[in-house]
Structure 1
């Protein structure tokens, strides 16, 4: 047991707590050491010192001190509370909850402990526990509105809408003086209650409540949107129509208003004449509006579409709107509409004649229109559904010849070069576009992105650094991490992965993982803030967004790339020595050594600058990811990335495919089967299925230890129906598949199976098979590049393949002569 403090010592202890709250950590540490000289075993002081050390980044020492404090005073709620805070900071929420509960048992009336417990419960979505904690807090302070609202939020998130509404109503009933109309927070609480009623799908009552509170809410547009939505769901169409027309008068570019009006008028795409009439009426009323002219193109067909598209395109191209192609490219999912648009715009181009008029204004307008047409056609022929690269280049070069310093024209040419596979030329062209407007952040980021696609990390950092403070801690790279430029880190990591520099690649992907972790942890700051400010609706939306956080496209993309890096590290352990293989041989050692020295100097310079500017900043002890490369279980480490994306993006084909590869290598055959079945449901015609089925069957046939009875039963019911005839030889089945299919994906799948079953034959046969496949018109540049990567990974001779690919795509950097 720790000693009881005297009056003077108690005053010192209060000073420690005050310094900690004010983030005066050094002062707090000094006073703690002063007090511990007098009472060295005082548990509460040791606990507060641990908390201060933890805030200063000395986590190991803080944890050790926290344990010592707890041993010295097991009955101190402060020691248990601090212990819980330390565990929370380590993201060990289970142990943190235990510590908080122990602290609460010792001091049940502590509002601080109860609040921290409640915040942790909502953070981990323990809704039942959160409701209990909020009930206890409400019982302790029933006059505080925040406690009533928080209990309603807890009930709402747990799905108990009826109790949530009752809780809000109970507080309204006990109010003696209604809040003034200027109380914005009260307005938000009223709208939150309306949101709960609407979620019960009792729209009649939701509408009645909205009518009652509408006079108290300043956000009239939101009230109108909600009223129109409720009226629509109640089939009160004429009333809903009036409101949607008012909303359209306020904003003619909000498509949801048009959708609401169409529903209120009970129209559908099977009534194109009436729909066209409606949109024409609105378009005539608002001459500058785009939506009422663009939306009809989605449902019109045939000659009616051609006329409407002609009017729309002439209007946009005459105005010279740069986004015209972006506005209509979604129509290209329909081949007839794509052909109609192409014919119209080609007609505009062919109808152009040299200017011979004396009217200077008319001449300028004519040339401007012609320029817009050529700009549109360049994008049209660069788009994947209508791609004709030579034609796209011809049009864009005509424009650049007339206006060589146009940012837009240079950007389009860079994109065209990218689609040719010329990553170097694309990067140079995009950087040229950037130089024409150095104040434009968008073109700056595009240039950096293209440089990374060309694996030029140094230039990309220099480019992105133009919009970063010169004295930024850690330089441009440090700032991209600090400012959470996830797109940049993803592109940078993928570039290192292409170069087989797995340490730096994994470093970037782990940084992205940590950023998403930080976004998840940031919720802690809002659990109390949102309730205190009563921004409840925004808080609920945030909670729901956070629940879907790991399905973010960039997280999924980075995680898949990280999994591929770990698979590569498992398949080729020599890459851990930082020796990238090219066509099965080590890269030039001199060039590698020189590059390593340069990288080391740059890193030392960065670290030196960082130390000068921010000594308190925690130093990265593994800037090149060497510790990540030293792992003995790369596939186990990959699960850190794979598990969340399998949960959050189960309908992503690339996720299921990379999951299969990892589980197959880990000999988790039931989990591999689950991914295989998911792939089958998502893409039943995918050639990857052929490869997965045969490779999984081969793994089962060569098992050292037989599967248990339960697993065998699962394979008999789920996997056996997918197999070829029971007595069929897998090699024969694979070769039969290869003879029946000549597209690159199918050939690659068969080659992959052969690499597992008969690698000796594959060494000579695979390049021949793939050379044939690459000559097919259907083979895309991207598929050809993926194939080359796999051939290199299997250490096969790629000379004939690269030659054939270079003939097909002479400008592609990946197939350029070394």
Structure 2
């Protein structure tokens, strides 16, 4: 690189050796050569040498010195592209991408055709999604290196990401024409490039051209499966049904276990009547007797006698073979009450027949061989899950106990038993079942993880950590190792457990750790920008970029963000007291001996906290070293040090609502189809008294689910805020509120609105709870009427009574949201709930309840279909 301040030959040779040492990661040698130049009085302020010394120091972890030398070098030679480039590399290593881009642009002012600077700039631009800038930079690289494949593909991709499909295709066509002239051999990379070109054509909307393109280049495409799938899909969309049918039949022949192929084949055959679809599946079940989809999928369409025959045959085979997930397989059929009745009748008949004759039917007792002895075990197992799903806990427990008596060594039975107790509202008993299952096979990581999850739901955090330590690295605490491995299901459950235990700082620490995992995943894409272009995995690369753009819409992030927002809202409503000030007040009245004990206790606690903090810092250093060793390249090795997450500091922030908004903003963009996002946004802005943002949240929530009970209470509170502050609003704000609320509300009178809501939702207990809370807030003397709305759960008019809503009502009664309740009123409600849900820990009398770890009304209810498994 030509220098703006050239060195004499001897020093210039030393400078080149600095560059070579840096490239070969021989950093100490680089510092030695830099010292030889800088000790010469004539060159002790040579800018580029100072900059390279700073860059080398950065690679050795001496970041403060590195910045000092680089800035000094830049001050001494502002016209040097080397100094600006090095400064950009330092900023990039600290993840300050915007600043790094500015440095690279300054470097290009003095060396506009420097390939390395342009490449580095393009990487940062695609990382920051500055697509227009990326396009311009890739154009410069193409002009400088027109013979390189990456130059053409990078420029074409920049147009593709900008959705300028025409230019992207023109560039690829030009490049492919050149390639055809240069080489006639077909390879995988050329094949991937053609498939990428076809992807662009499809996204442009010209499906006919995409089909023609595939047909023309099909001999050169190596990935025949993707080729066939694309051809079939395009023919189907273009309504060329005969061709689509032929290709999908070939695909089914190739992989008869792929359910999507069957569905697409039905679509291409234009089968709409249920009897035709059934005949189709029966035909393929004969053609592929060992394939599962043609046996399972017709159960979705069959009814009556035909359904009974098909499901009978399907279940018998599964019970004989011993298929544990049979119920999970059939669970989607339970939306139809008639199918549930048929399945129940069949399975109960199996029990009786197997007991008497070891056959599935008593009429077959003299025909053929008997069923295996394990068949009745799997029937019991199925019935336990069946009745659990129907919320008939007693029957479910009866059958699972019968199964355990039959085979007490089958781990799946104890897992199912734990799940039954979880659904019945008893997390403590559920974890005991899983603990028993885990003890039967301590080498099974799945059962280990499942047991840890159930322990966390029973708020046994230390025990869960101990269980996980069996599969984590030695020498590091399990919690630290799980954080290093980005084990987000564990951290999410930990955060929720800490929230229930009211350890808000610890809960926030876990939420922030999960947030950092997502930041790391976004940072990790940096390595793929050059790799994917070099390896020609272009379709996967585009998919990666699009995934990263919506990454924080993932359920893991949603759960962590929801937990963090709820905690911050609670900390705003009820800030933690200053412990030191409180202790000083208490010590004034203590006897000397008690004061001495207290001081000793405080010293021990402080020492323990310091040890934990030191361990955390040591673990962070180890992680950084591990990350450094994994990195390929130069200054990427030294990531910026993140602030240590101290629970007490997190729980005592000055601006809890602003912290909540940081978690909320990604959800508003990426989880806008979930009403919880907008309800949480309303709660934040309600406390900040941001009227227009409250209105915006209500409108978005109304668009998602206008009948949601929580939305009703938000509307009423919004009206109250507007009513109380009407005189202080700007006229323009008042006009907006008036116009927007007209479409949402039939009347502006809150009482009338609440009455209308209750009248329209007479069958919903959830609606009754929100209506009762609003009724009491509007008029305290209506408490008796409000209580009568929610405490009469035995009334058959409600069709949504479950453990969760009953728990919410009990929590509201205890919190005084419907006014202060007498102990007799609370006891009466608890007794009703206990009679209805005898296993639920939240409603057990004190003498029956296990040792509680927290308020039982805080029990966490998680469905079997949540993102972390059941």
TM-score by length of 1: 0.89
Counting only pairs closer than 5 Å after superposition, residues 529-608 of structure 1 correspond to structure 2 as 529-574=531-576, 600=609, 603=612, 606-607=615-616
Counting only pairs closer than 5 Å after superposition, residues 507-546 of structure 1 correspond to structure 2 as 507-546=509-548
Q: CA separation of 1:703/1:311 partners in 2, compared to 1, >3 Å: closer, same or farther?
A: same
Moved more, 18-27 or 666-675: 18-27
Aligned residue number for residue 343 of structure 1: 345
Aligned residue number for residue 625 of structure 1: 647
Counting only pairs closer than 5 Å after superposition, residues 229-240 of structure 1 correspond to structure 2 as 229-240=233-244
Which residue of the other structure, out of 741, 763, 766, is the alignment partner of 1:745? 766
For structure 1, the residue ranges without an aligned partner over 5 or more in a row are: 581-588
Contact 1:3-1:41 at 8 Å conserved across structures = no
Contact 1:657-1:675 at 8 Å conserved across structures = yes
Contact 2:747-2:753 at 8 Å conserved across structures = no
Counting only pairs closer than 5 Å after superposition, residues 722-741 of structure 1 correspond to structure 2 as 722-723=744-745, 725-726=747-748, 728=749, 730=750, 734=754
Aligned residue number for residue 197 of structure 2: 193
Aligned residue number for residue 370 of structure 1: 376
Q: How much does 1:294 deviate?
A: 0.9
Moved more, 184-193 or 50-59: 50-59
Q: How much does 1:529 deviate?
A: 0.7
Aligned residue number for residue 859 of structure 2: none
Counting only pairs closer than 5 Å after superposition, residues 26-105 of structure 1 correspond to structure 2 as 28=30, 32=34, 35-38=37-40, 39-55=43-59, 62-63=66-67, 65-105=69-109
Q: CA separation of 1:114/1:363 partners in 2, compared to 1, >3 Å: closer, same or farther?
A: same
Q: How much does 1:432 deviate?
A: 1.6
Contact 1:461-1:477 at 8 Å conserved across structures = yes
Distance 2:124 2:514 in 1: 24
Q: CA separation of 1:634/1:8 partners in 2, compared to 1, >3 Å: closer, same or farther?
A: farther
Contact 1:501-1:578 at 8 Å conserved across structures = no
Moved more, 61-70 or 515-524: 61-70
Distance 1:64 1:202 in 2: 56
SS for the counterpart of 1:252 is coil
Aligned residue number for residue 354 of structure 1: 356
* CA displacement 1:690-711 (0-9 Å, x = unmatched): 2101111112223397222332
How many aligned positions are there?
799
Q: How much does 1:539 deviate?
A: 0.8
Aligned residue number for residue 212 of structure 1: 216
Q: CA separation of 1:28/1:159 partners in 2, compared to 1, >3 Å: closer, same or farther?
A: same
Q: How much does 1:551 deviate?
A: 1.2
Distance 2:771 2:784 in 1: 14
Q: How much does 1:755 deviate?
A: 7.2
Q: CA separation of 1:43/1:363 partners in 2, compared to 1, >3 Å: closer, same or farther?
A: farther
Moved more, 639-648 or 601-610: 601-610
Q: CA separation of 1:30/1:691 partners in 2, compared to 1, >3 Å: closer, same or farther?
A: farther
Aligned residue number for residue 460 of structure 2: 456
Aligned residue number for residue 499 of structure 1: 501
Moved more, 497-506 or 225-234: 225-234
Aligned residue number for residue 315 of structure 2: 313
Distance 1:647 1:677 in 2: 15
Counting only pairs closer than 5 Å after superposition, residues 677-696 of structure 1 correspond to structure 2 as 677-696=699-718
Q: How much does 1:658 deviate?
A: 0.8
Asked if 1:811 is matched to 2:863, the reply is no
Contact 1:279-1:293 at 8 Å conserved across structures = yes
Contact 1:422-1:812 at 8 Å conserved across structures = yes
Aligned residue number for residue 118 of structure 1: 122
Q: CA separation of 1:413/1:166 partners in 2, compared to 1, >3 Å: closer, same or farther?
A: same
Distance 1:114 1:246 in 2: 48
Distance 1:123 1:253 in 2: 39
Distance 2:757 2:248 in 1: 57
Q: CA separation of 1:651/1:495 partners in 2, compared to 1, >3 Å: closer, same or farther?
A: same
Structure with bigger RCO (C-alpha 8 Å, 6+ apart): 2
Contact 1:771-1:801 at 8 Å conserved across structures = no
Asked if 1:638 is matched to 2:648, the reply is no
Distance 1:417 1:636 in 2: 39
Q: How much does 1:765 deviate?
A: 9.0
SS for the counterpart of 1:224 is helix
* CA displacement 1:468-515 (0-9 Å, x = unmatched): 2213xx421222121111111111111111111111111111111111
Contact 2:278-2:301 at 8 Å conserved across structures = no
* CA displacement 1:521-540 (0-9 Å, x = unmatched): 11211111100111111111
Q: How much does 1:107 deviate?
A: 1.0
Counting only pairs closer than 5 Å after superposition, residues 410-449 of structure 1 correspond to structure 2 as 410-449=414-453
Distance 2:542 2:724 in 1: 52
* CA displacement 1:313-361 (0-9 Å, x = unmatched): 222222221111111111222333333322332332343333589x999
Q: CA separation of 1:614/1:217 partners in 2, compared to 1, >3 Å: closer, same or farther?
A: closer
Contact 2:576-2:651 at 8 Å conserved across structures = no
Aligned residue number for residue 656 of structure 1: 678
Calculate the aligned-residue CA RMSD, in Å: 3.6
Q: How much does 1:193 deviate?
A: 1.5
SS for the counterpart of 2:689 is coil
Q: How much does 1:260 deviate?
A: 2.0
Distance 2:602 2:346 in 1: 58
Q: How much does 1:638 deviate?
A: 1.1
Distance 2:536 2:423 in 1: 50
TM-score by length of 2: 0.84
Distance 1:599 1:433 in 2: 35
Distance 1:417 1:579 in 2: 44
Distance 2:10 2:785 in 1: 87
Distance 2:747 2:624 in 1: 68
Q: CA separation of 1:163/1:211 partners in 2, compared to 1, >3 Å: closer, same or farther?
A: same
Q: How much does 1:183 deviate?
A: 2.6
Which residue of the other structure, out of 703, 722, 731, is the alignment partner of 1:700? 722
Aligned residue number for residue 585 of structure 1: none
Aligned residue number for residue 583 of structure 1: none
Q: How much does 1:216 deviate?
A: 2.4
Moved more, 316-325 or 83-92: 83-92
Aligned residue number for residue 709 of structure 1: 731
Aligned residue number for residue 157 of structure 1: 161
Contact 1:248-1:254 at 8 Å conserved across structures = yes
Distance 2:619 2:291 in 1: 52
